[in-house]
A and B are shown apart, each in its own frame.
Chain A
Amino acid sequence: MIVCVAVVGHQNNPLYIQSFTKGDDSLLRISILNVEGCSYHSLKRHHIVHCSLDVVDERVNNPKKSGLIINETFLGLLNPTENYKVYGYLTNTKVKFILVTTDLEVRDVDARVFFGRFHTAYVDAVSNPFHIPGKKITSRKFAERVSTIVKSFGLSSGG
């Protein structure tokens, strides 16, 4: 299950963090601005996303070592821990997408498909003339779209 998705700006500043925790059936979205919800549920996700930037930096700074292919946006598995996995994606403009999942069996192709869709949604959101580049994404539409993408995670490729 995806527990968190995030967009991190080129200066490593958080642009969008959405946590998902399992409700009854639906995904419960927690606003990043909500005081209680934030500290209770998503602060640790903030931490996970923030620390995963270390890995992104490492990969970007040592492309040879990490075997990063030029023009490859998908960074793959960033941080395998015992209980969750972090996947990363880096756009040409150094905007990072982070995916935190508790599924321990995630196929790379699923992650790639997910990031591809997420990237498209992001591009649409920042193309909004009222969006200020470098600022947090507050678009409700984007949030809804992300929720849809998250729900369909792993379904597209038959997973």
Chain B
Amino acid sequence: MATFLPQFQSIKSSFAHIVLSVEDVSDLWPTIKKGFEERLPFKRASLNNKTRNPVLVDELPAEFILTTDARLRSRFPQEQSLFWFREPYATIVLVTCEDLDEFKNILKPRLKLIVQNDDREWFIVYVSKAPAHNDQATKMAKKVFAKLEVDFSSKKRERCCKLDIHGPDPNFWDDLEGKIMECIRNTLDRRILFYEEEIRKLSEQRFMPVWNFCNFFILKESLAFMFEVAHLHEDALREYDELELCYLETVNMAGKQRDFGGMEKGDDQATLLDSGKKALAQIVQDDSFREFEFRQYLFSCQAKLLFKLKRPFEVASRGYSFIISFSGALALHESMLPFCMREVWVITACLALIGATASNYEDGLAAPDVEKEFYRVQGELHTLCHTKFMRLGHLVGYGSDIERSPVNSASLSMLPWPKPAVWPPLPPDASSEVLAKEKMILQESPRLKHFGIQRKPLPLEPSVLLREANRRRASLSAGNMSDLFDGRPRSGDGSGTPSAVQRVSNVSMSRTLSSPGNFDGSIDRPMRLAEIFVAAEHALRNTISDAELWKSLSSVEEFEKKYLDLSKGAANNYHRSWWKRHGVVLDGEIAAVHHKHENYDLAANLYEKVCALYAGEGWENLLAEVLPNLAECQKILSDQAGYLSSCVKLLSLDKGLFLPKERQAFQSEVVRLAHSEMEHPVPLDVSSLITFSSNQGPPLELCDGDPGTLTVALWSGFPDDITLESLSVMLTATNSNDEGAKAIKSSEAIVLMPGRNNITVSLPPQKPGSYVLGALTGQIGQLRFRSHSFSKGGPADTDDFMSFEKPTRPVLKVARPRSLVDLAAAVSSALLMNETQWVGIIVKPINYSLKGAVLHIDTGPGLSIAEKHEIEIEKHEFGANNTDHSDNPPDNHSPVSADVKQLSLEDGKINLPDWTSNITSVLWIPLKAISHGLAEGTPAGTVSQRQSIVDGLRTIALRLDFGVSHNQTFEKTVAVHFTDPFYVTTRVADKCSDGTLLLQVILQSQVKASLTVSDAWLDLQDGFAHTGKGDGRPVSKFFPLIVSSKSRAGILFSICVVDTPAKDGEELDPISVLNIRYTISGDRNLGAHSPVTKELTGPENETDPLTFRSALVLQRPVLDPCFAVGFLPLPSNGLRVGQLVTMKWRVERLKDSGKDVDSDDVDEVLYEVNVNSENWMVAGRKRGYTSLSTKQGSIIVISILCLPLVAGYVRPPQLGLPDVDKANISCNPPGPHLVCVLPPAFSSSYCVPAA
């Protein structure tokens, strides 16, 4: 059956549609052909697929062929069954008849003859030629058609339809199409059954010796082809898939040694998409086909169907798998195939597949994920092609032009060298080429990386090519029979006998060794690398038939061009797929080419992408490979910002990735740039390089307003010391968001050593709160850098640890404002006025050191510091203050005085000694309160004429400057109470009948100390005199009189009233003065004490007595009053602003006027109304005379009309009598001090009364 192959091929190529045969009985076809063919192709055909399920075919092309056509004639019966698929799928019988007799006698028998063949699907189209207006003819036609239907249609099947030429029924065409479709469907079903049966029969014989794959193939492909013609592409594809499976089983069946194929000229070009490249008959081998061609043929058929099904993505993915598996098959037969056949085939296959799928693919054709998958496969195809292409380039000596990157190394170094049976030998006349290659090799210089980085280049070879080639050449690979066989003849004469060549070519080397002159006798000497390149180049020239591909390998430039194209293709496709990493990595390859060709701009852009990818995921080893290249590009492009950042990144990579020398080079670049004049200084992020944290332990705690010193640990990632011109630490408050971070600047340049450094920065006073370290900023040269790395909490040995999860620890806590110190008066009781007294100030630190504190003392008016005396300071003991032994002068003054230190006052300031910095101490300041007035004694019983406390109050303004840098200030004004020792009251104890008055002077002690009165005398005012001897002293035996604290003492003086002669021009002495000499015995810790003198050493009782003087006013008995002025009550309805009111006073003469009485007994009395004109308006005379009888008891009433001007409590007008001495006027009843004035009544100007 294999002999039918050529015929089968030709049928397939000529047969493209379903054929419908037309049996034109009555020569009607030319008339109606047009109408019939207009229906083609059939729309929406419904067919059954292999599993008998209906399938809707959108468009089914077909062709009408007359049965008399040559194409349907002269076929042998065997051919007919074998190639049944090409037989007509329906027979349309065209008849016309206008006469029943003619029908019965002629047409019917003829028709019966035509339709008797059951194999055919047929139906009859009766064509009526009767014109529409000719009823007779129309009737006849109907009759004939009815007869026709009776004879040929059955209940099961309608086989007749009628076409009116002169007025076709619109339903006719649908009817016709339906009938045609029915026929096609039936025919197809029947043929499918037939082929299936045949195939089944053959399949059963598969493991028998008679099995012939070719027969199976013809049947199977016929079926597939039939499906394809019927546009049942899915079914066709399934048949091809089954065919492929079956073939692979056949091929892999052991025992049969078959020819693989691929030895012919042009076989290196993949035909996986071109089924017609080679005739099937050419690849038949015994009962099967050669694998090389046939598998490609099958794939091409599948691809064709998939393209028809609009599934180019499936072609791509199937194609990729096919190429991989086919490449494996090629590898198995590599020793027999031409040199590098496998690589060349893969390249051409990939390129063909890429081209075909890309041109058939439209964006949006498939679902997004399918689309991504498609681009991924495209990328894979490009990559595969790229790899193989690099391998070929490497073999012909372009290895030095291939970037030794990890990606190329991964793909090439794990890909074995080609394994030809014998390595191609050097052609005889190739010495000039060898020389050229050698020159090329010599010119190769390993490209030095930037920063002087030297690395052993990554391998592109799986093993050393020199060794591999020579080994294969020397036929030392044991076990390879063909190698051993090859070796022998060449070792003989070196040129190879014809028989040897013959035998060799029989085995395998039909193409590679086709020129017998290749054996040049160089077997004694191993081939040099250049020779290997030249030999490979020559061998490849024989292998490669594709001029385009060969051109790409012909020169370095072309090679690079193709290399770049493939890289770009792969990268672009990967970018559109899920596999972004693959794409970016390939971008790196493209960048390397640009870099080499000094397209630094393009290179830098691509390198940046690669670096971002590696850096983003922390692949430092890979990053370290690319980053120096990026840096170099940036440097050349004068992208200083980028270059700096690259250098910093390089420095922050793992230390093990670069040699110390290289890292130093990075640093020197950073420093060089930092100190150069940069056009656009850039801020630099060194977060990865300089990290920082607070020191271990609790955070620094400061009081509000205090400066401090913050220690920060810095880790420098620089390999050498680096000088930071300035450094600032940002402190961020954790509790408030409104305030931004505050920069704390270190004042001086800092040299950072590699590793950990402790930096101290002085901290100005901060607001209360808790602070964390924010960011670090500073300058290296002109360069501002910034580091916002997270704080490291770990110990020093985990330097590289940078935890992202650990919360930042507060580094500083500033307490809320609180009182840090208190100043208070040590003594609350009064001190002696006009004497120098110790005023104690308690200085009490509250958990705060007062080291270096300075106290400013500013005494208020009436108070002065006795500067002759030193100021004392002592430790304060609370117990000393509590003792309340005011009566007894305390002897325990001394225990604290042991610690008393003398201090001196300078410009109102005292420096507190350091020993007092943490303890409460008392500062004793000698102060003297001055009061110029004499103390006034008061008559006993009078209301509160007692000396006001305020008079004795003096204030001391204190200011304490303290704190670490005197930043804290505490100000307080301390009130100190001074007083006279005694409060003196007097009373007349008794009026004796002889005019002697016993004046009792009562002394009330006002101090918390014991007073000892040693002497007292009274200097009397004019008008009084002492009775008796007259020195004014009481009996002296009562002295010393001790007056203890809070107690009273009394002294009696005997005086009398004397008339004092009036002395012209001399003022009478108006007051008497009581003089008391006393001493005081008190404790300064309690209150008043003996005044500070220069010599404090002497005992207290030896001190000079003090003198206290108090003024006493003794009044002679006064005259009786003459007038009484009484204020008469005001109207009860109250006073109101704006309302006139009459004020009335009653003036009464209490006794007769002493003047000479006039006849009319009337005296003129001057009166005056004193009034505040802002509050009152007085209508009438304020001042005037009024008449009053001189008799006792005479009364007048003075009325004044007044108008209050303001509301509120105001002083009312007062009536005075200017001519009468105040002493002679008694106010009875007294007028009010204040009266209440109501606000004016509401204005009713605009209100009309209701009535």
Residues of A that sit less than 8 Å from B by CB: 9, 11-14, 32-36, 38-40, 42-48, 50-51, 53-55, 57-58, 61-62, 65, 80-84, 102, 132, 134-135
Contact = CB atoms under 8 A, between A and B. Distances in A.
B658 A55 contact: no
B42 to A, nearest CB: 38
A54 B406 contact: no
Contacts of B804: 134
B618 A83 contact: no
A127 to B, nearest CB: 18
Contacts of B411: 81
A84 B414 contact: yes
A50 B578 contact: no
Interface residues on B, range: 35 or more
B619 interface: yes
B803 A132 contact: yes
Contacts, number: 106
Contact of B579 (A54, A65, A80): A54
B578 A48 contact: no
Interface stretch (B469-477, B580-588, B962-970, B1155-1163): B580-588
B466 interface: no
A100 B622 CA distance: 18
Given A13-B618, A34-B656, A83-B414, 13 more contacts: A12-B618, A43-B458, A44-B407, A44-B458, A47-B409, A51-B407, A51-B581, A54-B578, A54-B579, A61-B578, A84-B414, A132-B798, A132-B801
Contact of B455 (A39, A47, A80, A82): A39
Given A39-B458, A82-B415, A51 B582 contact: yes
Contact of B625 (A14, A43, A81): A43
Contacts of B800: 135
Given A46-B406, A47-B407, A58-B579, A12 B656 contact: no
A71 to B, nearest CB: 23
Contacts of B803: 132
Residue from A12, A39, A47 whose CB has the most chain B CB atoms within 10 Å: A47
B591 to A, nearest CB: 15
Contact of A11 (B410, B578, B617): B617
Interface in B437-464: 455-456, 458-459
B1030 interface: no
B618 A47 contact: no
B415 A32 contact: no
Contact of B585 (A12, A13, A47, A102): A47
B1201 interface: no
Nearest to A64: B369
A43 B406 contact: yes
B657 interface: yes
Contacts of A44: 406-407, 409-410, 413-414, 458
Interface string B387-419: 000000000000000000011011101111000
Contact of A54 (B407, B413, B582, B621): B582
A57 B578 CA distance: 8
Nearest to B804: A134
A34 to B, nearest CB: 7
A32 B458 contact: no
A132 B798 CA distance: 10
Contacts of A34: 656
Contacts of B59: none
Contacts of B657: 33, 35, 38
Contacts of B328: 82
A38 B456 CA distance: 10
Contacts of A12: 617-618
A18 B1149 CA distance: 131
A134 B582 CA distance: 24
Nearest to A62: B369
B801 A13 contact: no
Contacts of B914: none
B369 A32 contact: no
Contact of A35 (B410, B458, B617, B659): B659
B1161 to A, nearest CB: 124
Given A33-B654, A35-B656, A82-B324, A14 B581 contact: no
Contacts of A36: 455-456
B658 A35 contact: yes
10 tightest CB-CB pairs across the interface, nearest first?
A13-B618, A47-B406, A33-B656, A44-B410, A54-B579, A58-B578, A44-B409, A12-B617, A83-B414, A43-B406
Given A58-B579, A132-B801, A14 B654 contact: no
Majority-rule SS of B interface residues: helix
A42 B618 CA distance: 16
Given A35-B656, A102-B414, A46 B327 contact: no
B410 A50 contact: no
A42 B456 CA distance: 13
Contacts of A48: 410
A33 B619 CA distance: 12
Contacts of A35: 455, 656-659
B456 A40 contact: yes
A57 B372 CA distance: 13
26 contacts: A32-B621, A33-B656, A34-B656, A35-B656, A35-B658, A38-B657, A40-B456, A43-B409, A44-B413, A45-B410, A46-B619, A47-B407, A47-B410, A47-B585, A51-B407, A51-B585, A54-B579, A54-B581, A55-B579, A58-B578, A58-B579, A62-B578, A82-B324, A82-B415, A83-B414, A83-B415
A85 to B, nearest CB: 11
Contacts of A53: 581, 617
Nearest to A130: B798
Contacts of B578: 54, 57-58, 61-62
A39 B619 contact: no
Contacts of B373: 65
Residue from A14, A34, A61 whose CB has the most chain B CB atoms within 10 Å: A14
A11 B618 contact: yes
Contacts of A135: 800-801
A53 B625 CA distance: 19
Given A44-B406, A82-B327, A135-B801, A38 B413 contact: no
A38 B327 contact: no
Nearest to B586: A51
Nearest to B413: A44
Nearest to B455: A39
A11 to B, nearest CB: 7
Contacts of B324: 80, 82
B801 A47 contact: no
B126 to A, nearest CB: 58
A134 B625 CA distance: 23
Contact of B458 (A13, A40, A102, A132): A40
Contact of A14 (B407, B416, B619): B619
Given A62-B369, A82-B324, A50 B622 contact: yes
A44 B798 CA distance: 29
A138 to B, nearest CB: 11
A136 B796 CA distance: 18
A81 to B, nearest CB: 8
Contacts of A134: 804
A106 to B, nearest CB: 15
Contacts of B581: 50-51, 53-54
Contacts of A51: 407, 579, 581-582, 585
Nearest to B411: A81
A135 B618 CA distance: 10
A3 B459 CA distance: 16
Given A54-B581, A132-B801, A40 B618 contact: no
Contacts of A32: 621
A42 B979 CA distance: 99
B617 A13 contact: yes
A154 B619 CA distance: 30
A46 B373 CA distance: 24
Nearest to A54: B579
Contacts of A55: 579
A130 to B, nearest CB: 9
